Chain A
């Protein structure tokens, strides 16, 4: 399975998948998509990358332990819910902010950050498992 074609093409596929995963995640509020699916796509990309280039390369490219990304995701999701405390509203009340940038309006909201947290958790956890399973036995996790 580790053919030259696969090894050559894999990084490109991975790059496209990662960008696509973020796109899917961000459009999720209005179109099919969302943090969960985005995270799954990104994790699949990491799986492919690991198969093609070896786990060590992927870990180096990621720089951060994938489990730490997952932890960060939970914290971010929780923190986005806590934001409502500042406007004296119950936990997880959503707050919306419309930023005017020239011609277009960019809506920012706490659910967006919540969804990014979900993305990080799914991505981090599944990548960690996939990488750990892919890695050779001699290599430490």
Chain B
């Protein structure tokens, strides 16, 4: 398995980026290339596969490849990639199967008008998945992890016109994102504890995390991530619903790759977190439960895709269990089983898609005798099923042998685990027989469409992966030396010997355990209908599923947010304003009362009769005139019979205020105040005529008293605060600086303007952006109101217009 050209380290970045570039180009390419798009785009993963193969020699020789570039240097975060046996096995599987799936998708969705978009999503997913398995930095891992969730969401919901597809997509997104958040928390926690973002560095730290007091929390975070992604019981329910996606998606994401991300994470972290009692027991118990639950679930179904989805859950449980056991044999078994599963499950899904595509149904009860009409598809299905059953000369055989081999020591736990494994494997074998035999052998059953052989692009995938499962099964030396050893060594962090052999030892217990598994498998196959009836009866008796619980939770969440929104967002403008000004009053008086800000108001004893000392300020008569004008304006506001008059009176008061600014040496402020006053009166007047509140004038006394009290409290508060501030010594360093430097360095005599456009220009930039944003919001509100008005003219307006 030597590469075509020597692989360079910087190329790893392109491996993660190329699929995304291809994804962006896919829809455009589809417009030009039409039905050949699938063939062309399959070249991208194929090239990546060959490129990655170039690293194989180094990795088989026990080496690793690391590559790192600056990402956020300020926080010492790097975009680092790392290739060892484990990541290479995953990356090669992803890109290899990816190429076949892209090819298959081209034919499966032939004639679909959004095929370009679909292929784009698929390639983007592949890029994310490759990034995930190649990433070394925990943050990069998290980033790619979330990208796989997002692309999976897009792909499950691809057929977005169907409600079931939307629901499946949202469910998958919610569940896997909970895991994503766990992963982020875990990554940050690990970095805080160990000081490193790089997983390769973590592996060199020995028992640092295992001995830490927060080990439990770290473990919880990572297990939460892995269990949600890899659909472990009781979070498994999103995976069957994800089958709403087009079949190529199910074959690629929800069997061979994305769901394996959780398994990958566990394998990756097992040198760092694994080996403890908690790790082993949690993984083995949940893995075992998932295995049995998924296998039973598969026997319940009659829809080909649902059957396969349930077996995927079972296989994921099996992998988690094996990683949890953590012995040399079980890790070796996990690696071989991962490869075997990727081959046969992708193959079977593609077969199911082909059957569905050519006959129009996926119900095994409505299929039969297709072998004659679709011989190539049948051969592909048979090859995959042989591997799934685990007969000798297939890769599945080695996987099964290895997992039994690790449990031969005879203690009680091993015995229980081996019974669970045999039961699970037997049920999966039975399911494999059902899937491969029911639709293809027996008498031909009429189907919605007349069956005929699938096109070449749809056959290439299943036949090739099926054949690969057989070829790998007759080359134990290659499989052991080039695949198992590098990957298992990477997980165990020590060199491993391969012991895969084709020789059958008739006297050994091992073979007889396998034989027992096959025999039970055949039994399951023969009694499939009875088992299904029994299981369905049990389900009906149970009455609820994890799926229902999820729905109930989501429904509760939506109702809760609805209630919160209605409580806070009631649409009564007056109450909003009351709330705002109430808060202002609290903010003004709270600190003043809390820190004794009002103490200065109490007259001091040595002042004597202080009322004698009160003097009126010495003001010019015209200055008094302006002040009288302001007060008159205020009184007019209070006395105003309608809102319109009140607004105009406010204008009088505001103009007087502008004059006061002018008289006391702030011409800039006066200028602005005047213009703001004019415009706000104009705009408010227009608004008031538009709102037509006149029939609610004059306002009820309670409202008047409430708002008046609030206004007085806020006004007094602001006045007191100002007096308090002016009483103290002002820190004039900043204004001194501005006064001193505005001409020499900013070339302006108007300090206010220099501050606005130069010293604090960045603030102003923000402010004008807000002004524009607010303007657009106001326009949108007005436009909406107008639209409503034109749609159904309110009768009230007509009469008013006639009256005016």
Binding site for B on A (CB under 8 A): 24, 28-37, 40-41, 43-44, 47, 67, 70-71, 73-74, 77-78, 81, 91-92, 94, 96, 107, 109, 111, 114-115, 117-118, 121-122, 124-126, 128-130, 132-134, 137-138, 140-141
Contact = CB atoms under 8 A, between A and B. Distances in A.
A132 B686 CA distance: 10
B785 to A, nearest CB: 9
Given A111-B758, A133-B687, A141-B782, A32 B679 contact: no
Interface of B: 667-668, 671-672, 675-676, 678-679, 682-683, 686-687, 690, 746-750, 752-754, 756-758, 761-762, 764-765, 768-769, 771-772, 774-776, 778-779, 782-783, 786, 789-790, 797
A77 B768 contact: yes
B757 A129 contact: no
B779 A114 contact: no
16 contacts: A29-B749, A32-B671, A33-B668, A34-B750, A44-B679, A44-B682, A70-B772, A77-B768, A81-B762, A96-B747, A111-B748, A114-B758, A114-B761, A114-B764, A126-B683, A132-B783
A109 B752 CA distance: 17
Contacts of B683: 47, 126, 129-130, 133
B762 A141 contact: no
Q: Which of B667, B765, B769 is the most central at the interface, judged by chain A CB atoms within 10 Å of its CB?
A: B765
B568 to A, nearest CB: 26
B667 A32 contact: yes
Nearest 3 interchain pairs by C-beta:
A125-B775, A40-B675, A133-B686
Contacts of A118: 756-757, 764, 768
B679 A138 contact: no
Given A44-B682, A81-B761, A130-B686, A137 B789 contact: yes
Given A44-B679, A121-B772, A92 B750 contact: no
B775 A32 contact: no
A19 B514 CA distance: 95
A16 B687 CA distance: 27
Contacts of B771: 70, 121-122, 125
Nearest to A40: B675
A38 to B, nearest CB: 9
Given A74-B772, A129-B775, 4 more contacts: A34-B750, A114-B764, A121-B771, A133-B690
Q: Which of B675, B756, B764, B782 is the most central at the interface, judged by chain A CB atoms within 10 Å of its CB?
A: B675
B765 A81 contact: yes
A33 B674 CA distance: 12
A85 B752 CA distance: 26
A36 B756 contact: yes
A129 B783 CA distance: 11
Given A94-B758, A130-B682, A133-B683, A30 B772 contact: no
B754 A29 contact: yes
A28 to B, nearest CB: 5
Contact of A111 (B672, B679, B687, B757): B757
A57 to B, nearest CB: 17
Contacts of B690: 133
B750 A33 contact: yes
B790 A111 contact: no
Interface of A is mostly: helix
B750 A28 contact: yes
Contacts of A140: 786
A132 B690 CA distance: 11
Nearest to B678: A44
A36 B764 CA distance: 10
A39 to B, nearest CB: 9
A74 B786 contact: no
A29 B755 CA distance: 10
B772 A107 contact: no
Given A29-B747, A29-B753, A67 B790 contact: no
Contact of B750 (A29, A44, A121): A29
A92 B746 CA distance: 12
A17 to B, nearest CB: 11
Contacts of B687: 133
Contacts of A122: 768, 771
A41 B772 CA distance: 17
Nearest to B746: A94
A113 to B, nearest CB: 9
Contacts of A24: 671
A24 B754 CA distance: 15
A134 to B, nearest CB: 6
Contacts of B779: 67, 128-129, 132, 141
A58 to B, nearest CB: 14
Contacts of B667: 32
A29 B683 CA distance: 29
A44 B676 CA distance: 9
Contacts of A74: 765, 768-769, 772
A35 B750 contact: no
A141 B768 contact: no
Contacts of B778: 129, 132
Contact of B749 (A30, A91, A114): A30
Given A32-B750, A91-B762, A132 B772 contact: no
Contacts of B749: 29-31
Contacts of A30: 748-750
Contact of A40 (B676, B764, B789): B676
B202 to A, nearest CB: 39
B782 A138 contact: no
Contacts of A73: 768, 772
Q: Which of B746, B772, B774, B790 is the most central at the interface, judged by chain A CB atoms within 10 Å of its CB?
A: B772
A133 B688 CA distance: 10
A126 B771 CA distance: 9
A126 B772 contact: no
Nearest to B797: A137
Contacts of B757: 29, 34-35, 111, 114-115, 118
A91 B675 CA distance: 32
Contact of B761 (A70, A92, A126, A137): A92
Nearest to A111: B757
A30 B678 CA distance: 25
